Amino acid sequence: MTTEWAVVAAAEQFTLDPRNSGELTFTVSNPGNAPDTVVFDVAPGDGSQRAWFTVTEPQRVVPGQGSVSFLVKLAVPPGTPPRRYDMTGFAYSANTAPEESSRSSGRVTYEVRAVAPPRRTPWPWIAAAAALVLVVVTVGIVLLTRGDDPAPGEPRVVTVEAENLVDAAVVESPRASAATVVVQPNCCGVTWSEDRQLFFQGLAIGDQVTVTVQIPADATWRFAAVRTTSFDYANTVFTIDGNQVGGTFLGFTPKVQKTEFLDVGTVRLTKGPHRVTLLVVGKTQGTNRYFAGVDAIRFTEVPPPAAAR
């Protein structure tokens, strides 16, 4: 009997860094009752090449009613024309021909940017003049904005108790499961900050909860979160405005535990509201629950690199 694999990407597009590199998680589920060995691969879209992609551990055994996650790394070579490209992930049973059991994800896009050539080092007198201008301009800016920005050398930090975002949270499920999100008080020997956490009660792969966070300025931000793990907690990823940030968080531990702030990833954000989504991508234990817990989230501004001397 052919396995009817289900393939889901964690986001609709790769988020690429300035070198046009990035990564994205794909989850492959086995809806049948018998275990099967799956092979995961990538189908590049028009203008792209398979060699740009690397799949970590492309062949694995998937238990019945279980799932596995595959990390796909993308490295676009220098000189690639800047434009939007796309790809799909697909899975098939190792013991059958790909055309007999192959199932694909939705189309995933990525935006390739032009990479500027390295800057040449200026002549000493040009560098000295530029430094003098920089000092004059910087002093003027400080005098004009001293009351509006953080103290020099101190980045902005936005810390939010996740449970305070529950009332406006949006829960979605591709399988129409009865997933919910609630505020959970201290439980099971764990004390959360402010004595509560955001408790997402997912019931299937693809279930997700989205909250909205206000960012105070255009900048690059380091995103971190305090997470909870337990015997019935799922593997999850974070996306911000539809783009995956960081890798897969493994939610399973034999008993309830709380982490410290864990770095998730770095992302460029504009001033204003942004959608932070917690997405279920799999599990590592035999349970029909796909729960997740978030105690707090934090965005720390990443200072721009110092001007070259």
Residue-wise pLDDT for 80-138, tens only, equals: 999 999 999 989 888 877 767 888 898 999 999 987 655 554 445 444 544 433 433 33
Q: d(Cα 96, Cα 38) in Å, to the nearest integer?
A: 10
User: pLDDT > 70: what percent of the chain?
Assistant: 84
Q: How many helices (H) and strands (E) does the chain have?
A: 2, 20
What structural domains does the chain harbor?
6-111 (2.60.40.10), 157-302 (2.60.120.260)
Strands 219-229 and 257-269: antiparallel
Three-state secondary structure call for residue 46: coil
296 has a pLDDT exceeding 90: yes
| pLDDT higher than threshold 60 for residue 171 | yes
Tokens for 223, please give them. Answer: 């995103």
Give the model's pLDDT for residue 72: 93
CB 126 within 8 A of CB 149: no
- Rounded CA separation 296/284 (Å): 24
The mean pLDDT of 136-153, rounded to a whole number, is 43
pLDDT of residue 298: 97
Amino acid 102: pLDDT: 85
Name residue 32's amino acid: G
What count of other Cβ atoms lies within 10 Å of the Cβ of residue 165?
Answer: 20
- Which pLDDT value is given to residue 57? 84
> Within 10 Å of residue 208's Cβ, how many Cβ atoms?
23
pTM for this predicted structure = 0.57
289 within 8 A of 232, measured Cβ to Cβ? yes
Residue (of 50, 24, 86, 89) closest to 243 by Cα position: 24
